[in-house]
Amino acid sequence: MKDSYLHKGLRKRLVETLRKKGISDDDVLDAISVLPRHFFLDKAFEEIAYQDKPFPIGNEQTISQPYTVAYQTQLLGIKKRDKILEIGTGSGYQAAILAILGARVFTIERQEDLYRKTRQLLDDIGLGRIRCYYRDGYKGLPEFAPFDGIIVTAGAEEVPEALLNQLAVGGKLIIPVGGDGQEMFRYTKEEDGGFKAEKLAECRFVPFLKGKNPSKS
Ligand code: SAH
């Protein structure tokens, strides 16, 4: 894996695009400017990896658009050492951004093939320990709860109770909710055990599916 001046320049342009589209958190933008997105894509995408677009990563899944990664990450408002759970590891790009921001990252993927491939990639890139699990994200990761933040990177038909239950007080769940198209929601757990719900922008994600999908091989 090689990162060149050309790639760095393209990332700078991408960061400017994201700023123009309304991303204002400098820590998030800095993370995007240091992380080589082309590492997370097939060689065929190397030239276009810094376009603000989602791309296929196999198993009918996509790496999220950089704007979406930046937007969801900004909504989390991460502090160093925060414990963050990501649902939908996919390419690993979002998990890597969280790690660069200093979070303790836990990530779950339901496709065994992707889980294996991405766990290896994240190890090779070496951003420190990102804990990857082959699980059904609907159930979260109860043995490591509570989390300061949970970020769902697939479109959910409903908000899983299990995920709300795994938030710390003050913790936030960022989740796209809806069928074909979704709306981003942020749930914040309050002191009295209740939740504040905020409905945010419209978005479009691959579906949040129930159960695990083992490798065919
Ligand atoms: N965060 C990813 C985006 C991947 S797309 C990235 O940065 O590349 C969404 C991912 O969610 C897919 O890999 C899909 O397999 C996964 N997914 C869908 N339903 C899931 C579930 N119930 N549990 C865990 N992962 C799930």
Instruction: Round to whole Å and give the CA distance between 196 and 179.
Output: 22
Count CB neighbours of 63 within 10 A: 23
For the chain, residues with pLDDT lower than 50 are none
Tokens of 41: 């894509």
Q: What is the pLDDT of residues 50-63, one digit of tens each?
A: 999 999 999 899 99
Compute the distance from residue 64 Cα to the ligand 1 centre, in Å: 10
The active-site residue out of 64, 91, 215, 217 is: 64
What is the phi/psi pair of residue 167, to 5°? Answer: -90, 140
Q: How far is the CA of 208 from the centre of ligand 1 (A)?
A: 7
Distance 37 CA to ligand 1 centre (A): 17
210 belongs to a structural domain: no
How far is CA 138 from its chain centroid? Answer: 15
Strands 167-177 and 147-152: parallel
Query: Does residue 100 sit in helix, strand or coil?
Result: helix
Query: Using a 6 Å cutoff on CB, does residue 132 contact ligand 1?
Result: no
pLDDT of residue 1: 81
Q: Is 64 a catalytic residue?
A: yes
Token pair for 95: 């998990």
Cα 32 to ligand 1 centre (Å): 20
Mutate to test the pocket of ligand 1, among 37, 111, 152 (most ligand atoms within 8 A of CB): 111
pLDDT at 180: 83
pLDDT of residue 216: 83
Short-list 35, 114, 109, 112, CA closest to 69: 35
Domain count, the chain: 1
Residue 93, strand partner residues? none
Alpha-carbon torsion angle 15, 20, 25, 31, nearest 10: -10
What is the model's pLDDT at position 108? Answer: 98
Task: Look up the CATH number of the domain holding residue 118.
Answer: 3.40.50.150
Ligand 1 close to Cβ of residue 162 (< 6 A)? no
Q: Tokens 């710390």, residue? A: 168
Give the range of the structural domain holding residue 13, as residue numbers without chain letter. 5-203
Task: Please check whether residue 76 is in contact with residue 174, taking contact to mean a CB–CB distance below 8 angstroms.
Answer: yes
| pLDDT for 136 | 97
pLDDT for the residue numbered 128: 86
pLDDT tens figures, 98-131 = 999 999 999 999 999 999 999 999 999 999 889 9
In a domain, 215, yes or no: no
146 within a domain of the structure (yes/no): yes
Residue 211 counted as domain residue: no
| 54 touches 174 (CB < 8 A) | no
Comparing CA positions, the residue from 172, 209, 185 lying closest to residue 90 is 209
The reply to whether 32 falls in a domain is yes
Using a 6 Å cutoff on CB, does residue 209 contact ligand 1? yes
pLDDT at 52: 97
**Assigned domain for 17 exists:** yes
Contact predicate 18/66, CB 8 Å = yes
**Does residue 72 form part of some domain?**
yes
Domain assignment of residue 140, yes or no:
yes
Q: Residue 132 and residue 116: Cα distance in Å, rounded? A: 9
